[in-house]
C-alpha cells in the first residue's frame, strides 16, 4: 500500500505542471506593434514585439477548435476571452517544453509556421509581414 502511495505521489508531481490550463488572450499592443512594422516596412526581432522567456513560437491560422489547439500543443487551454472561430492567428510561445504564453489575434496577421527565438519580422512594401528564423 505504501508503494502505491509513493507511485501515485510521483505521478501527480510529474504531471501536475502540464495539466494546468495555459491562459490565452488577445494582445492589442502586439497587433499595434506588428501594424507599425508592416506600415513602415521595418525589420525587428520578434522578441522586441513579444518580450519574454521564450525560445520558439508556433503560429497557427484560425479558425480552429479549442480541442484542435490543445491536441497540437499537448496542454489544456484557459481560453479566457479568445474565440476559436475567429479568422486570426494563434501564437504559442515555448520555453523548452513548456508553453510560456498564448496569444490570439483578430485577423490573419502572420503566416503559419514555427520560428526560433532569434526570428525577425519584416514589413514588406506590399503590406504583408514576413518572418525569418
- Hey, where are the domains in the chain? 21-132
Residues 6+ apart with CB under 8 A from 105: 26, 27, 30, 31, 88, 89, 91
Model confidence pLDDT, tens digit, residues 69-105: 889 888 887 766 666 666 788 899 999 999 998 888 8
* H-assigned helices in the chain: 2-16, 28-39, 46-49, 66-73
Residue closest to 54 by CA, chosen among 113, 111, 106, 119: 119
Inter-CA distances, 16 with 43, 100, 116, Å: 40, 16, 27
Model confidence pLDDT, tens digit, residues 8-42: 333 333 334 445 777 777 888 888 999 999 999 99
Amino acid at each position: 500500500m505504501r508503494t502505491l502511495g509513493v507511485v501515485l505521489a510521483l505521478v501527480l508531481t510529474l504531471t501536475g505542471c502540464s495539466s494546468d490550463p495555459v491562459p490565452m488572450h488577445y494582445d492589442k499592443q502586439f497587433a499595434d506593434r506588428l501594424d507599425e512594422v508592416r506600415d513602415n516596412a521595418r525589420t525587428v526581432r520578434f522578441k522586441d514585439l513579444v518580450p519574454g522567456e521564450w525560445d520558439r513560437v508556433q503560429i497557427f491560422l484560425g479558425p480552429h477548435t479549442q480541442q484542435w489547439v490543445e491536441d497540437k500543443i499537448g496542454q489544456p487551454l484557459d481560453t479566457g476571452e479568445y474565440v476559436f472561430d475567429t479568422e486570426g492567428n494563434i501564437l504559442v510561445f515555448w520555453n523548452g517544453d513548456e508553453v510560456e504564453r498564448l496569444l490570439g489575434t483578430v485577423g490573419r496577421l502572420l503566416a503559419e509556421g514555427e520560428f526560433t527565438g532569434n526570428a525577425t519580422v519584416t514589413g514588406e512594401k506590399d503590406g504583408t509581414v514576413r518572418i525569418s528564423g
